[in-house]
Amino acid sequence: MRTIQAYRFALDLTPGQERDILAHAGAARVAHNWALARVKAVMGQRAAERTYGVADEHLTPTVSWSLPALRKAWNTAKPDVAPWWRDCSKEAFNTGLDALARALKNWADSRTGKRAGRPVGFPRFKSRRRTTPSVRFTTGAIRVEADRQHVVLPRLGRLKLHESARKLARRLDNGTARIMSATVRRDGGRWYVSFTVEVERADRRPRRPGSVVGVDVGVKHLAVLSTGEMVANPRHLDDGQRRLRVLGRAVARKVGPDRRTGQRPSNRWQRAANRLGRAHARVANLRRDGLHKLTTCLAREHGTVVVEDLNVAGMLRNRRLARHIADAGFAEIRRQLAYKTGWNGGRLIVADRWYPSSRTCSGCGAVRTKLALSEREYTCQACGLVIDRDCNAARNLAALAAEYDTAGSGPVAGRGANRKTPLAGRVAAKRQPGTATAGQTGTVPPQGGTTNRVLTRAH
């Protein structure tokens, strides 16, 4: 199986190498800002001409937003705009132009409805102090040295790695991987190099190919499996909150930047801000490590994994639980399971967002019309089953695998996922409040049964 994979390694740079990388990142920013100013000038001119009553055929000609057109215009203007352009690799300027071309395309597709999701705003100019330094190389000498402790990049030369690159080097030596690009980026006070690699992965099978597991994510427990196993939520952000508050107050006491007056930050503010950034990076690394271990274990063990299509953006609007939900990383769990199940020969089934997994009895299939947020145990008034709320939801998710095999590919709606209550269900609800007969559909709250269920997992 051929796939695109990323390998990320920390770097140990000398002061001179760091200055060279910052110069390349600055060159990318200059090219981006120049091209954006050119596009905005033409757009503004055309808008002004329309107000004067100029016909469309007589307006100022438009400027192409494609990467080849932006690169051609930059090559013509760079002797005047950046006389120092020979000091940096051409890939540095291409990095900024490529980022602008993608941003303009996303903005245009969002306006015309071709791009789903939230509306995308118009690109902004990149600031020298607030932009994350980054530069991407796609051509030239990009390789891992034989000692597996150094990498070679165009114009930057030989860079020392903080860790061994043996995993990538083995694939390169065996001919099962090909480096497509390399990106150098500063994150949390440390420099990293990320290789985008085309990898030929061997076909694998899960340890239990016929096993089906439902995964119900939450805040109280990071994940509850249909097997009964409950994965504890490490709450890395809560553990590091005290130190983050101390470091945040230390930053607030220093003389920081002020864009209104043009005041530059003091050296002490910069050092304090770097300490705060490293603390945040440590929390993010701990969270990432835990999620990778969980998803890898699930993908390698079970042949079928069933998760929910959660409205994470809607959950984050709950001010009481937003921080805990963001710390858990619901969307990251699903994203990692999506590609890891494919790597290991399994499959991932995504339940419909409106499927009432919490309100459905895993024993008889009865659907309750309402389930209070404070009820941590599910009690079925039809069959008398008493079970943990999260475990009940996980079992219902696992049961959807059979419906998926019948319905085919795509999100599985399951019982009660059409957002409506049939007439028989409404009559039954009036006769016996809080219950529904087996197979009937319960009324889904405005935010969806799945969303409300996850929001209940507070302390």
What span, in angstroms and rounded, lies between the C-alpha atoms of 314 and 118? 12
54 in Cβ contact with 16 (< 8 Å): no
What span, in angstroms and rounded, lies between the C-alpha atoms of 105 and 69? 13
What span, in angstroms and rounded, lies between the C-alpha atoms of 437 and 40? 61
pLDDT at 372: 79
Nearest to 105 by CA among 157, 160, 67: 67
CA quadruple 90, 93, 97, 98: dihedral positive or negative?
positive
Count of C-beta atoms within a 10 Å radius of residue 427? 11
What span, in angstroms and rounded, lies between the C-alpha atoms of 19 and 156? 10
Count of C-beta atoms within a 10 Å radius of residue 14? 10
pLDDT at 158: 95
What span, in angstroms and rounded, lies between the C-alpha atoms of 141 and 153? 6
What one-character-per-residue DSSP string does 61-117 give? PP---SHHHHHHHHHHHHHHH-TTGGGS-HHHHHHHHHHHHHHHHHHHHHHHT-S-S
What span, in angstroms and rounded, lies between the C-alpha atoms of 189 and 278? 6
Do strands 386-388 and 150-153 pair parallel, antiparallel, or not at all (unpaired)? Answer: unpaired
What span, in angstroms and rounded, lies between the C-alpha atoms of 27 and 108? 26
Question: Which runs of consecutive H residues, i.e. helices, occur in 154-201?
Answer: 166-174
Structure tokens at 264: 């530059």
pLDDT at 335: 94
**Catalytic residue positions?**
216, 308, 390
Chain-centre distance for alpha carbon 314: 16
**Packing angle between helix 90-112 and helix 67-81, nearest 10 degrees?**
130
Global pTM reads 0.81
pLDDT at 105: 95
Provide block-wise average pLDDT over 10 residues at a time, the chain (459 residues): 93 96 96 96 93 89 92 95 94 96 96 90 92 94 94 95 95 94 93 96 92 92 91 93 96 92 92 94 94 95 92 88 91 94 93 87 85 81 86 90 70 47 34 34 33 32
Question: Based on C-alpha coordinates, what's the Rg of the chain?
Answer: 27
Nearest to 318 by CA among 217, 456, 119, 450: 456
Q: How does 187-211 read in b/e, with b if 16+ C-beta sit within 10 Å?
A: bbeebbbbbbbebeeeeeebeeeee
Angle at 160 between CA 156 and CA 166, to 5 degrees: 120
First to last CA, the chain: 44
Do strands 230-232 and 177-187 pair parallel, antiparallel, or not at all (unpaired)? Answer: unpaired
277 in Cβ contact with 189 (< 8 Å): yes
Domain map of the chain by residue range? 2-14+133-200, 18-112, 206-231+275-459
pLDDT at 456: 31
Do strands 302-308 and 230-232 pair parallel, antiparallel, or not at all (unpaired)? Answer: unpaired
pLDDT at 407: 62
Nearest to 28 by CA among 82, 103, 105, 108: 82
Structure tokens at 296: 């890898």
Structure tokens at 404: 């998926």
What span, in angstroms and rounded, lies between the C-alpha atoms of 70 and 373? 54
